[in-house]
Each structure stands twice: as structure tokens, then as C-alpha cells.
Structure 1
């Protein structure tokens, strides 16, 4: 019984020491501190701070606004329409001295109220526009994003948006191309003497960036631009630069490789025998295929470009070669179906036999069969080719001339197409390596 009484006495003493401490608003073992955050406390502070506040008045004679842009993703870069669509948000920071407060404002302790939050409807904000927007030119606004107001009057606001801007495309090296696009932010209504825009970072912020499937992001930059003049006033502006490079795999497999492959089909028409009946049809098919590809490329690049597209030049050149190959095929067929009743002009005979045939190492081959007896009394047939210069002019036929032309055109078109294709690939891919 005595033991139980002693335990109850000790518990009573401990409780008597703890309860007064909590009633004073402090932790156990400590003195009284500032009151914890409460909605009533913030409401009281808000009523005091926003008394006589007007959204129509600037905080100061010249408001310095620090701006940064956070890029979330590049939605699309359309080189035909010359537009770039991005998703991101601007972060604006400025000082409004009217919204400052200290911890003892109005006789209360606001030490635990670090921030106030408001929206654009109740706080003055700088009027900004995206100058080169093609979707909708209006004052940047986001009524759903709260403004964070610090006790020293610093306001931070991060309106999100979908920014569709004009982007002048450089299609010189399409589809192995890179593009540079700009997002231009400018003050509207307030002159450069009233609002001064400054870049908070030298680059676009990429902490939350999601890569695009077609374009690689090479670099970004952010800088203040020269003041824009509208009428008698100048306005502060910023320029955010986005530099991207097209990914190679898709267009290599679907554009570059098929184009080069079809180019080497052109000389193959001269490997078909004239009597096969498909010589002219094959040549026309290759010609039409290139015409279709040229149309497809033309549909994907802007028609008002200031620079030529090397791919278009290459396609037009190959298309011209394909057209010439049709004419050459007709000439070969015309020679092949010549009859002995039609004499071969001397100039044609001399040019093709004496000059062209030597350049392409063409020789008319005569074969005869001779029987030889071997030691075991077996008989072997030996094919003998007469390579002497006995291709007398009177023995040359129209079919021989057709064969000479076929071989000459095959070598000529193969050399020209190989050379032009190598030059095209070297030009576009050397530029790619240089940029990387």
C-alpha cells in the first residue's frame, strides 16, 4: 500500500510540471515560442497586407522582372509549316514592396507564416506576350497557377502553356538537318523604362525535359534582346533559343536508302537484252518511281524556302538521268532492230567501233569448235576466241552496235550515279559530323 501511494505521488508531480509547459505553447522543457501556422492567422495577415492594394498600379517606377523558361517537351517541329510547338512554363520573379510584412505586423507574431499565395486576379503582374506566336497572341495568363509571395515582397509566378511559334526552317541538308528556333518574350503596354526583363539563366532549364522522338536537343540559350520599338516607345524583350537536330534512323531507312537504291536501278536497264521486251518498260518504271519520290519530298518541305534542298537537287538530277536513260534505251532498241537492208552510216560505224568500242574494251567474239584427239582417244571440244583486230567494218551489224551502246551506257550511267551519290552523301553527312 505504501508502495502504491509513492508511485501515484511521483506521477502527480511529473504531470504538474508538463501541463503548464504545453499550455504556454512551447515544447516540453522549453519556453513559449511563436504560434503555429493556422488559417485564421494567415487570413488576418492577408487582410492587413492587401488593404488598399491595387492591381492597376506598378510596385515601383521601374520593375525588374527576372524570367526563366523551363522546357518540358518539344511536341512538334513542322518544317513545312515552319512552326515549333513546345510545352513548358515561364518563371517570373519581381518585387512588390507593398506586399512586405514582418513577424510583428499588427501586434501579432507571423514568424511561422513564410508565404502568402494569391492569383493573377488579385496581384499586379507584368503584361508579357510571345511575339512570334502563331497560335494566339495574347497576354500571358494562368488563373490556375498561384503566385508565391514571400515576406520580403518577392513574388514568384510560373504560368504554364503550350507555345506554338514560327520557326524559319533551313532545309539545305534535309533530312540530315538541324534547326534553330526562337521563343521571343516581350513586355506589352509597359515600356522598357517601366518594366525591365532580365534573363535569370543563360540557358533554358531542362530539369523536367522529356526527349522528342524525331528531334535531338543540341543546345539552348537565353538572353535579353534589343528593345523592340513600337511607335514612339521601346519595350523590353527576351529570346529563348532552341537548337535541335533530326534523328537519322527513320529517314535513313525510309528516305536516303531507297533513293540511293533506286538510283542504281537506272543502269540495270542496259543489262536487259533488247529482245526481252521489257527494256523500255523497266526504264519507265524507274522514272515514275523517282517522280513519285520527288513529289513526296516536295510535300514535306516548305515551298518558300530561302535555301535549296540538296536532296531535291539530287532527286532532280537522278530524275533527269532516268529520263535520259529512256531516250538511250529507245536508241539501243532502234539499233537492235535494224535490218541488213539498211546500211550503217560510216560516221556511226567509225565512232562506235573505232572509238567507243575501244574505250569500253568491247571485242567481237567469234567462236569455232575444233576437235582434238587426246592420248586416251577421247575427243575434247575447245572454244577458241578470235581476238584479232579482224572486226572488219563490213562484218559489223546493227546488233553489234546495239551491244556496244548497251555496254557503253551501262558503264557511263553507273559511273555518273556512283559519283553523284557519293558527293551527295559526303556533303550532307560531313555537315552532320561537323555540327556534332
Structure 2
């Protein structure tokens, strides 16, 4: 059954291969782990001009290759994807630099494919500081910069690159 194949695959990837979440994925010694990063908004952001704060529910999608998560799909009933808890595998430790609040839900799930491709898109409430100027209201413009960085690894170990930008909600390109 699919459930049994899924259980066997999870056991194979995490237990039989002795997966270590503290070791970043790499194909060879001194290889940099390439992580593509994109940000998408889940709803219309809120700006509090008096407090100079920006609020939004967003998701950060990160994709990378982890050779330790490769499998032969035929040996596992043709499974082409497996869900793994973020706590079970290595995931980039990305934080927001203009930090006010960036907390992710603990139930975040990553998707892995037979070739070792991993996709991880946790949802975050983002609260960031902004420069606000109401001088030209209602035609005012505000600058809210949210910078992300890898918290644990150096750039020579993990390289974050901006991937394709997710579509703005409901075609609203101003977000």
C-alpha cells in the first residue's frame, strides 16, 4: 500500500542512511550548498505608519538538493515524493535581518523527490520596521525592506540566491 511504501521510504531515508540533521547537504568535500529562496505573501499586508511597522503573513520557499535524500522510486512502489518534518532533515536557518518578528510554525513540512530535490515553504508572520512618510497622502509611498540571511552557515558553505518571485496575491503587483 501507499502508506506502507511511505513508511518504508521514511525509514530508509532517515534511519537506515543514519541521516544527521546537523550536517548540511553536499555532494563532495568543501562543496557549497546552493539554496534558492523566494518570498510570497498570503494576504494583503498591513502598514502601521504611526509605529513604522509592516505586518504580513508570508511564506518563504527554499529549494536545494540533498544527496542523502535520494531513492529509487521503483523500490518504494513508485513514490515520487515524500513529506518529511523540517525537524527530521537539514533545513537552512534563514532569519530576517530587519528583525522585529519572524517565527515559523513548528509543524512545517518539507517535500523531497527521488533525485534528492527538497522544497521547504514555511509560513511566517513577518513584522518589520519601515520608513513611512504620509506627506503626500493618499498618494504616499513607503519603503519596507525585509532582508533575509542564513543564520548558521557562512556564505561559502550555504549560498542563498533569489529564485523566481511568487505571484502577487490576486494580481496586485504593488505587494
Indicate the SS of the match to 2:8: helix
Query: 2:15 matched to 1:45?
Result: no
SS at 2:11's partner residue?
Answer: helix
What is the aligned length?
169
SS of the equivalent of 1:39 reads helix
Query: CA distance change for structure 1 residues 114 and 204 in 2, over 3 Å: closer, same or farther?
Result: closer
Matched, 1:72 2:72: no
**Which residues of 2 match residues 175-190 of structure 1 at below 5 A?**
175-190=138-153
8 Å contact kept, 2:70–2:116: yes
**Whole-angstrom distance in 2 between the partners of 1:53 and 1:162:** 30
Q: Work out whether residues 74 and 85 of structure 1, in 8 Å CA contact, stay in contact via their aligned partners in 2.
A: no
Q: What is the alpha-carbon distance in structure 2 between the residues aligned to residue 177 and residue 123 of structure 1? A: 45
Distance 2:49 2:91 in 1: 35
Q: Quote the Cα distance in structure 2 between the aligned partners of 1:89 and 1:143.
A: 14
8 Å Cα contact 1:119-1:143 kept in structure 2: no
State the superposition RMSD in angstroms: 2.1
Q: Which has the higher strand share?
A: 2
Query: Is 1:110 the counterpart of 2:76 in the alignment?
Result: yes
Structure number with the bigger relative contact order (C-alpha 8 A, sep ≥ 6) is 2
In 1, are the aligned partners of 2:5 and 2:77 still within 8 Å (CA)?
no
- Residue 192 in structure 1 maps to residue 155 in structure 2: yes
TM-score (norm 2): 0.86
Deviation at 1:38, TM superposition (A): 2.3
Question: TM-score scaled to structure 1, two decimals?
Answer: 0.36
Distance 1:73 1:38 in 2: 35
Q: For each residue in 1:359-416, what CA deviation from the matched residue of structure 2 results, as whole angstroms up to 9, or x when unmatched?
A: xxxxxxxxxxxxxxxxxxxxxxxxxxxxxxxxxxxxxxxxxxxxxxxxxxxxxxxxxx
Deviation at 1:113, TM superposition (A): 0.9
- Where does structure 2 lack aligned partners over 5 or more consecutive residues? none
